[in-house]
Structure 1
Amino acid sequence: MNTELFKHIYFRLPILVRLFLTILLVMLFFGTVIHFIEPKQFPTIFDGIWWAVVTGATVGYGDYVPLTQLGRIIGIVLILTGGGLLTFYITQFAAATVQHESDLSRGKVAYKGNHHIIIVGWNERSRILMNRILKHDPKKEIVLIDQTVSQMSYRDFPIHFIHGDPTDDYFLQKANIKEAERVVITADDHKSEKQADNQSILTVVAVRGNHDKVPIIVEVMTYNQIDNAKRAGASTILRPNDFMSALLYQEVFKAHSKPFETIIHFLDAQQFHHYEVPEEWVGYPFHEIINPLQKNGRLLLGIQRDGEWIFNPQRELLLVKGDILITSIPWER
């Protein structure tokens, strides 16, 4: 029974581990045998193991050499068996390294880290987002889940790539969704807007089913899918079509003054920051905290409350615990 259990465990180990254990046993065996055959030439078992490793690796330092005929026969057998095993191990190790690199670029390797950001969908928006995240925090780990690209080299894009369907629990678990810090879901450019929204909402459902507390930021293209995204569990819903339509409208009817050209450049370079309202400001009206922040060069744009963004709120709006202040530059209290 114990033998069968050992075989079951042994043959379930990775091939490199099995090879290493086999080589270890072979070297231990030959080292022990040569010690007992020639105890004067090999005073300790460790000396015998050292000789076995050096001989099996065909290094041949010559510091320990068998003198008897039987000892030399043992040496011949060791060279024929141990040397072959070591060569095979090195070959397999190199092949496994190359295979791992290939699997990594093809999105087949599971992510084992934590506190990472998961981005769903590879497109221009997610590429720019990735670059800005890494520029802000070069050590931040990013995991990309996408099924439209078949390969992504880590040397070109310093992210962990998972090739697969983001609505499938299997691929979300490969991205270690339970340990993720937040999830960003971008609309699929390869589908119609309605199909892209359906895919995004299904992804929200799958993510929320695997992690009930992770913040989910989702890009929704059509207005009638906003409520569905909320029901699915999205924390923040972005509507890029509304924003771009407003800019196009201003450009069409106010092109002579181009008031939005400066804003576009501002938004392109600006980074907004979010901070939970301090305890001492809870209960204060919105307008009373604008001046203290402006004195330090920080522009208060609005707040986020219960998942909703409120820009330029009413002056008398009272701040409550859990409100998120939105400022234009980092706020160091």
Structure 2
Amino acid sequence: MNLETFKHFFYRMPVVVRLILSVLVVMMLFGTLIRFVEPQQFPSIFDGVWWAFVTGATVGYGDYVPLTVPGRIIGIFLILSGGGLLTFFLTTFAAKTINHESDLSEGKVAFKGKNHIIVIGWNERTKQLVDMIAEKDSNQEMVLVDHTLSKLQYRHYPVHFIHGDPSEDAVLVQANIQDAQSVLISSDVTIEERKADINTILTTIAVRGNNQDIPINAEILTISQVENAIRAGADTVVSLNDFMSTLFYHELFHKQDTRPFETVLNLLNDQQFSHIKLPEELEGSSFKKAVPFFLENQELLVGVIRENDWLMNPADVTLESDDTLIILSAWQ
């Protein structure tokens, strides 16, 4: 390897690696040199290297000391060169640590973990979602992708922040989309609804293009764009306006002494819905007779899905083999 090739290779390495190699080479050089200058004071090269590190770091244990004039001259050069090199290494390492923390908060560091949840879009809804996930499972890793934030401190929110446009492949690669568990795309309510939905659909296309199998949950504001979001690859489309309009309707026309919003909120916070195929032993049974079957396992049968029709708490329905049951159970 000629000098130019070595320089090309050496200066392409990270600065901390270069410093570590430089420190090792300098200390090995001085340790070997002092061993041959004063072999009786330094019985082995390792003893010389140990002395070089201790002297260069200005610790000075005194277990090995050069006694001759040439040995002490070597010690002077070691203090002048090696001491400065070690000090420079420590300050550079500290600066790199601070810069890395700054890059993390500014969303410049790629995520290397697996089985994480990617949350796209930072708003009050996703803030609360992050808090809920952290409360339920503190070990669940989350990655936030957003282009409007300039900085997000990890100590404030337990997410790995990636700054950038989520519809760009390079940004999704930084979020390690290939190894993610699921994706939530939240709408930007600060812009016009149709434009927000178009952005959501573009992001859905980008996510699906980078990972064909990942579950995508997309938030859509206008009814006309729900089908487009599904065509783009969204597995679940949440129509925020539909949900809120229904809640408003219940708040306006509910029965006296009822609190629909608080009831739904507490229900979803403590319980989860699941869809299961009809157990064979319940085939041909009535909906009413099937309810006790699930109550034994602390589960509540609330409805049936039959040929895309949702039958919630039906009065009198005979269960069929192709039915999907809607079950309410506690979070595990």
Q: State the TM-score, normalizing by the size of structure 2.
A: 0.89
1:27 aligns with 2:31: no
* CA–CA separation in structure 2 for the residues paired with 1:107 and 1:310: 43
Aligned twin of 1:101: 101
1:91-121, CA deviations, whole angstroms, 9 ceiling, x for partnerless residues?
Answer: 1011111111111111111111000000011
Aligned twin of 2:301: 300
1:156-182, CA deviations, whole angstroms, 9 ceiling, x for partnerless residues?
Answer: 111111111111111111111100000
- Over 3 Å counting, the alpha-carbon distance change for 1:233 and 1:265 in structure 2 is closer
Aligned twin of 2:111: 111
- Over 3 Å counting, the alpha-carbon distance change for 1:309 and 1:230 in structure 2 is farther
Identity among equivalent positions (%) equals 48
- Please report how far the alpha carbon of residue 6 of structure 1 lies from its aligned counterpart in structure 2 after TM superposition: 3.6
1:199-257, CA deviations, whole angstroms, 9 ceiling, x for partnerless residues?
Answer: 10011000001100000001111001011001100000111211211222233344755
- Over 3 Å counting, the alpha-carbon distance change for 1:71 and 1:4 in structure 2 is same
Residues 247, 261 of structure 2: 8 Å contact kept: no
**Secondary structure in structure 2 of the residue aligned to 1:328:** strand
Aligned twin of 1:12: 12
Aligned twin of 1:328: 329
Aligned twin of 1:130: 130
How large is the Cα RMSD of the aligned pairs? 2.8
* CA–CA separation in structure 1 for the residues paired with 2:211 and 2:55: 55
Residues 298, 329 of structure 2: 8 Å contact kept: no
* CA–CA separation in structure 1 for the residues paired with 2:175 and 2:265: 35
Residues 298, 328 of structure 1: 8 Å contact kept: yes
Structure 2: state its 5+ residue gaps: none
* CA–CA separation in structure 2 for the residues paired with 1:78 and 1:324: 78
Residues 299, 327 of structure 2: 8 Å contact kept: no
Map 1:193-204 to 2 at 5 A. 193-204=193-204
1:188 aligns with 2:188: yes
- Over 3 Å counting, the alpha-carbon distance change for 1:204 and 1:302 in structure 2 is farther
The range that moved more, 23-32 or 286-295, is: 286-295
Residues 300, 328 of structure 1: 8 Å contact kept: no
* CA–CA separation in structure 2 for the residues paired with 1:256 and 1:276: 35
Aligned twin of 1:260: 260
Residues 277, 325 of structure 1: 8 Å contact kept: no
- Over 3 Å counting, the alpha-carbon distance change for 1:277 and 1:230 in structure 2 is same
- Please report how far the alpha carbon of residue 309 of structure 1 lies from its aligned counterpart in structure 2 after TM superposition: 9.3
Aligned twin of 2:83: 83
- Please report how far the alpha carbon of residue 295 of structure 1 lies from its aligned counterpart in structure 2 after TM superposition: 2.4
**Secondary structure in structure 1 of the residue aligned to 2:271:** coil
Aligned twin of 1:272: 272
- Over 3 Å counting, the alpha-carbon distance change for 1:244 and 1:177 in structure 2 is same
**Secondary structure in structure 2 of the residue aligned to 1:272:** strand
Residues 11, 18 of structure 1: 8 Å contact kept: yes
Q: State the TM-score, normalizing by the size of structure 1.
A: 0.89
Aligned twin of 1:206: 206
Amino acid of the structure 1 residue aligned with 2:296: K
1:295-316, CA deviations, whole angstroms, 9 ceiling, x for partnerless residues?
Answer: 232113457899x894628744
Amino acid of the structure 2 residue aligned with 1:84: G
Amino acid of the structure 1 residue aligned with 2:240: P
The range that moved more, 246-255 or 144-153, is: 246-255
Map 1:158-173 to 2 at 5 A. 158-173=158-173
Amino acid of the structure 1 residue aligned with 2:119: I
Residues 204, 229 of structure 1: 8 Å contact kept: yes
* CA–CA separation in structure 2 for the residues paired with 1:176 and 1:184: 14
Aligned twin of 1:291: 292
Aligned twin of 2:36: 36
- Over 3 Å counting, the alpha-carbon distance change for 1:176 and 1:283 in structure 2 is farther
